[in-house]
Amino acid sequence: MTALTFRYVAHTDTGLRRSANQDSGYASPRLLVIADGMGGAAAGDLASSEVMHIIRELDRDDLDTDAMAALEEAVTKANARLGDLITEDPAVEGMGTTLDALLWDGEKFAFAHIGDSRVYRLRGGELTQISQDHTFVQSLIDEGRISPAEARVHPHRSLILRAMLGRDDNGADLSWVQPMLGDRYLLCSDGLTDMVTDEVIRGALLAETIDMAATELVRLALEAGGYDNVTVVIGEFVEAGTPPDDRLSSSDGQPQLVGAASGQARPRTGKGSSGSDSATASSSSTYDPEELRYAPRPPSRRRWIRWAAAFALVALILGAGGAWAYNWSQTQYFVAAQDGKVTIFKGVQADIPGITLQHVEQVTDVELETLPTFRRQQVEAGIEASSKADAEETVAELDQLAVQPTPTPTKPTPKPTPTKTRSTASNASWQR
């Protein structure tokens, strides 16, 4: 068998809508890594950087154990680090990160995956996703309830079921990956995959060099809207001993560290900058579904928005459009809490003396206290639905996330190793 080595490149961009880059990317002759942080302003950066710095410690040629054992140990250590940070500062609770890491042992990759960042392989012109998204929509695909095409437009497509959150049940999927000569591996954050299709990714990955491919992939994500941070890390397999390609930014053999972990997230420049400024300003005052997935807005803020909406509605009801506005309000649904149960309401959320704009449509069996904190807060604040079916979908999703309260609410007994099996719908990583 031909001895192989790989060339590499890591690119990132804050995107056109975000003010900070919470992604971290890393590429070196031994290691390819991506981490997409979540959990609000500073915490997402912190989570992805801290995890990246621990995983990067694997980038040395004197590992004590085989690559898989070393990777598994590093993942456990990184997760524990997040747990410690959260214990030290409860304000960052809820922060977390996705992680994909490929550690080269000279013949094959040890591969760790958790979250919704992706790893693709381009082989013989064919693109294959080799990671499985830990998302709600992927669980629906696995159950045969929706198609991948439907998943792309599903209202809850951005909900992650597993991520590295600093808890004992946040194990990664671990497996070996056997590269072949000519393979290209792409690690990317959802800032790419939410913006472009796999076919577009395939086309870009066919570029002459991996630097060109990485540049083109980032460009395509920005062209499609650049809603999120976008990070791409690419490895390309060549015969061992092949001289460095001077066209590549990595021809100097130095590791490339980009994004939050580099501590110098690149500010938007050039033609995107003016758009970035206005988008940043508006993002602080408008609802951003992608951000909500990571860090649901505090209820007080949402309450204010609802109050404003209710005020506008009352003005309409009292005015000429009264009957129409009231009727419209009665075609709306939302999911909220009542008597400790997740409940579907018909109408709109508003507490206005003398006017009833909502009534209980259905009380479900889902207990509020069995939900993870994030989701519980969302329910308490109310989750709007575009239809009854949409509300039912939200309830089904909450039902899947519900867990029985653990008898010891403090520190559970640590497991010796992360689980190697992929949890399906139990979503244990959100258990508290």
Name the site residues for Ca ion (rule: CB under 5 A). Answer: 36, 189-191, 228
The minimum distance between CB 36 and Ca ion, in angstroms, equals 4
The minimum distance between CB 103 and Ca ion, in angstroms, equals 23
> Among residues 36 and 183, whose Cβ is nearest to Ca ion?
36
Tokens standing for 217? 């992939």
> Among residues 100 and 190, whose Cβ is nearest to Ca ion?
190
> Among residues 45 and 228, whose Cβ is nearest to Ca ion?
228
> Among residues 45 and 183, whose Cβ is nearest to Ca ion?
45
Task: Give the Cα-Cα-Cα angle 408, 411, 416 (nearest 5 degrees).
Answer: 115
What's the CA gap between 101 and 240, in Å, rounded? 22
Tokens standing for 120? 């693709």
> Among residues 16 and 357, whose Cβ is nearest to Ca ion?
16
The minimum distance between CB 189 and Ca ion, in angstroms, equals 5
The minimum distance between CB 290 and Ca ion, in angstroms, equals 7
> Among residues 206 and 295, whose Cβ is nearest to Ca ion?
295
CA 235 to chain centroid: 22
Is residue 262 helix, strand or coil?
A: helix
Is residue 232 helix, strand or coil?
A: strand
Task: Give the Cα-Cα-Cα angle 271, 192, 46 (nearest 5 degrees).
Answer: 90
The minimum distance between CB 230 and Ca ion, in angstroms, equals 8
> Among residues 97 and 332, whose Cβ is nearest to Ca ion?
97
Tell me how crowded residue 182 is: count the other CB atoms within 10 A of its CB: 14
The minimum distance between CB 289 and Ca ion, in angstroms, equals 12
- The CA–CA distances, whole Å, from 324 to 130, 307, 321, 330 equal 51, 20, 5, 10
CA-wise closest residue to 97 among 26, 18, 12, 34: 34
Which residue reads 């709600």 in tokens?
Answer: 136
8 Å CB contact between 20 and 295: no
The minimum distance between CB 380 and Ca ion, in angstroms, equals 25
